[in-house]
Amino acid sequence: MKKNILLLLIILGATTGYPQVTNNFESGNRATNVNNCWIFDNTNINASKPIQGKYSCQTGSLSSGVHKLTSPWIQTTGSGKLSFKHKMDLNNGISRLLRVFLLNDANQVVQTLYTYNYPGDKRTVISTSVDLPVAGVFRIQWEFTGTGGSSRGNLDEISIDGVYNSDPTSNDGKGDCAAIITVQDSDQDGVADTDDQFPDDPYKAYEVSFPAAGWASLAFEDLWPETGDYDFNDLVVDFKIITITDARNEIVEIRGSFITRAIGASFHNALGLSLAQVPSASVRKVTNSFPGGLSGNYFNLTEQGVENGQTYATILVYDDAFKVLPHPGTGSGVNTTPGAPYVEPKQVDVNIILKENGEANGNPVPVSSWSDNNLNFFIVVKADQGRGREIHLPDFAPTDLADRTLFGTGKDGSDVGRNHTYRSVNDLPWAINVTTNFAYPVEKGDIVKTHLKFGPWAETAGKSYPDWFKDKSDYRDQGLIYRH
Amino acid sequence: MKRLIFHSAFVILVLLASCTPEIPVPTQKEKSTDLLVPSDFNWKTTQVIKVTVAGLSLPADFFSTLRIIDPEGNVLYTCNYNLRENLNFNLTVPGSVKELQLTYGKRTLKASIVNGSAGFSFMLN
């Protein structure tokens, strides 16, 4: 089924009952009109001797040349009217002629709608109304010509029965635009099939991935509030977040994919995601491709699949990293000790549904208010022994179930009141988020000795080496990068 | 004497003008705990860009798909946009991205990221 996806505002005419395209030139700005696909050819907008209001469209001196104004494309019904007012600014000149044409998409004259030879006092305002007897998509063109004298033509109060049908994005810079074309929109959601990533689903239109290509990584140190060896491999998780939106630009689903690649620790840590500013009650359903990962005693989920007792929607990916990346039996940790057996990482997919069949619980989440600041990743350390010991990325908020008595203990330098969290007393983090697949250090390989530009990046507050994690010359001690 | 003072001042001015502020390169540290990190550093490998899109004062609504694309062609943001509206949103992009591209209908616009902002306008003139 076809539908014109470019929704056009219908301005109902007060007297005719037709939608109308109007122009009284009171913007005083030719550029504004050109942007709206009006073409000025030896004409301009002028405050000199206007017909009505402060401004009219005015030609140059009509002693020579052709002076035109052309309207945007307008869809006519075949029974509407064209009305406008016109005059000369001065009473001089041998001859003055106004002709009004209906133009087709080849710029050919379909019909001459009106002709006027200015007799006597040319300054008299003429109010004109003519029929638009043809249905279709046309432009209206006013053409002034003359001989002798210096008087100029004025045009104002244009009203055309019809629907605006120009595509401003095709503007050639002089107001010449293409007419709007009808395109396929199978699910009739207002997004053309060519743009719609779900062309047969009226409740979904777009998806955007973070990162835009490939995978990003989270890397944790898990001794908070004490500091550890800074090898950032106690838990290494690749992730990708796909946000699906509808034609109203509201978030329908958030699809998270997580691949746990390394556990350089012995603690049984859980992985979670809290959606900042998204109330728990807004989530209609959560699905997890690894249900066996949520069998711990310390996590209490609602029927919808979010964690109970949380203001903001909090989702557990798994409650124990070793369930998705089992210890191979030898070596310290999993996939952090060179030479130890390699365990193939397993992907866990979590689907968070915020709208179903167009319905949201409470206020929908607009995509314009969404950024990765809303993705509050965290681990729960020793989740087999309790729920409270959370570690987040720096400056992200603890969840409602975090044990806040731990802040300010050990080496923690957080100031929760001013959102200065999960930083050591000398501002080191316990977690980092890298926008690409992180080449993490081997066990005990301090990150500053492994990624040689990490230190300069941190000490310059990110100004130097924002790409410290890339595999560039002199960026890494390759011997300290874990490989299998 | 006046000439000497004038020349000295000129030389000093030239020397000062030739100085460009450079970020001091920190020395390589042996361990992370030796790092001297500014307390306002956010530890992000991304940057949050404030994107503004200035629409047109059209006589009718005009909807089409707006995309923000990075220099490598990756789509960072997509929405169904009414050209009559102005749009403001925050966009997370890798820290190394310096320029963004907007596609909408038949238009393609580019904007540099300056002070954490990127502005696009559909106005032609």
* Secondary structure class of B13 (helix, strand, coil): helix
Tell me the residue range of the domain where B117 lies. Answer: 46-121
* Residue B60 is assigned to a structural domain of this protein: yes
Q: Work out the pLDDT band at A1, boundaries 50, 70, 90.
A: very low
A95-103 vs A135-147, strand pairing mode: antiparallel
- pTM, rounded to two decimals: 0.87
Asked if pLDDT for residue B98 goes beyond 50, the answer is yes
Determine which of A5-9, A121-125, A274-278 has the lowest per-residue pLDDT on average. Answer: A5-9
- Per the CB < 8 A criterion, the answer to whether A431 and A456 are in contact is no
pLDDT at position B3 is 55
Count of A-B CB contacts under 8 Å: 202
Q: How confident is the model at residue A82 (pLDDT cuts 50, 70, 90)?
A: very high
- Bridge partner list, B43: none
**Taking Cα atoms as reference points, which of A239, A260, A216, A230 lies closest to residue A450?**
A230
Domain membership flag for residue B39: no
Q: Which of residues 120-159 of A touch B (CB under 8 A)?
A: none
Q: A439 to chain B nearest CA, in Å? A: 14
Quick: pLDDT tens for A118-136: 998 899 999 999 999 999 9
Interface touch B35/A173, C-beta < 8 Å: no
Q: What is the ipTM of this complex?
A: 0.88
When computed from its CA atoms, the radius of gyration of chain A, rounded to whole angstroms, is 34
pLDDT at B22 (0 to 100)? 56
Is the pLDDT at B8 greater than 80? The verdict is no
Residues 6+ apart with CB under 8 A from B19: none
Residue A428 has pLDDT above 70, yes or no: yes
Residue A3 — pLDDT band, cuts 50, 70, 90?
very low
CA distances from A146 to A71, A109, A142, A154, A325 (A): 22, 20, 14, 13, 86
Residue A390 has pLDDT above 90, yes or no: yes
Higher pLDDT, A420 or A10: A420
pLDDT band per the 50, 70, 90 thresholds, residue B23: low
Which chain A residue shows the shortest CA-CA distance from B60? A9
- Say how many domains are in chain B: 1
Is the predicted pLDDT of residue A17 greater than 70, yes or no? no
Over 90: is that where the pLDDT of B7 sits? no
Listing DSSP states for A220-261 in one string gives: E---TTS-----S-SEEEEEEEEEEE-TTSBEEEEEEEEEEE
User: Which residues of chain B does A7 touch, with a Cβ-Cβ cutoff of 8 Å?
Assistant: 61, 63
Backbone phi, then psi, for A35, in 5-degree steps? -60, -25
What's the token pair of residue A320? 């124990």
Of A11, A22, A435, the CB nearest to B46: A435
Partner-chain contact B106 A178, CB within 8 Å: yes
How far is A98 from A68, CA to CA, in rounded Å?
10
The pLDDT of residue A16 is above 90: no
Reply yes or no on whether the pLDDT at A473 is more than 50. Answer: yes
Token pair for residue A439?
Answer: 């080449």
Say if residues A318 and A310 touch (Cβ distance below 8 Å).
no
* Partner-chain contact A428 B35, CB within 8 Å: yes
Report which of A361, A380, A351, A357 is spatially closest to residue A280, judged by C-alpha positions. Answer: A361
Establish if B11 belongs to a structural domain.
no
Residue corresponding to tokens 């009171």: A26
Whether B29 maps to a domain, the answer reads no
**Predicted confidence (pLDDT) at residue A353 exceeds the cutoff of 70:** yes
- What mean pLDDT do residues A80-85 have? 97
Percentage of chain A surpassing pLDDT 70?
96
Distance from CA of B19 to the nearest CA of A (A): 19
| Confidence grade of residue A296 (pLDDT, cut at 50, 70, 90) | low
Other Cβ atoms less than 10 A from the Cβ of A140: the count is 24
**Rounded distance, CA A38 to CA A155, Å?**
13
Quickly tell me which residue has 């838990």 as its tokens: A235
Give the integer Cα–Cα distance in Å for A161 and A14. Answer: 11
Instruction: With respect to residue B36, please indicate whether it lies within any of the assigned structural domains.
Output: no
Q: Would B34 be classed as within a structural domain?
A: no
Residues of chain A in contact with residue B94, where contact means CB-CB under 8 angstroms, are 211, 435, 466
Question: pLDDT at position A293, please?
Answer: 65
Contacts of B92 in chain A (CB under 8 A): 210, 371-373
Exposed/middle/buried for A92, CB within 10 Å: 0-12, 13-18, 19+? middle
Query: Which CATH number covers residue B59?
Result: 2.60.40.10
Q: What are phi and psi of A111, to 5 degrees?
A: -160, 140
Measured CA to CA, the distance from residue A138 to residue A110 in angstroms comes to 9
| B-chain residue closest to A207, CA distance | B78
The residue with greater pLDDT, A342 or B14, is A342
Token pair for A144: 């002034």
Indicate whether B31 belongs to any domain: no
- C-alpha angle with apex A392: A349 to A233, nearest 5 degrees? 75
Mean pLDDT of chain B: 85
Higher local confidence (pLDDT), A294 or A72: A72
Residue A241, pLDDT above cutoff 50: yes
Pairing outcome for strands A431-434 and B46-54: unpaired
Q: What is the pLDDT of residues A43-64, one digit of tens each?
A: 999 999 999 999 999 999 999 9
Residue A418 parent element (H or E): none
In a domain? residue B35: no
Percent of chain A having pLDDT more than 90?
88
Q: Which residues pair with A209 in a beta bridge?
A: A242
Are the CB atoms for A180 and A398 separated by under 8 Å?
no
pLDDT above 50 for B63: yes
* β partners of residue A142: A69, A100
**CA closest to B70 among chain A residues:** A212
- Which token pair is A300? 């209490």
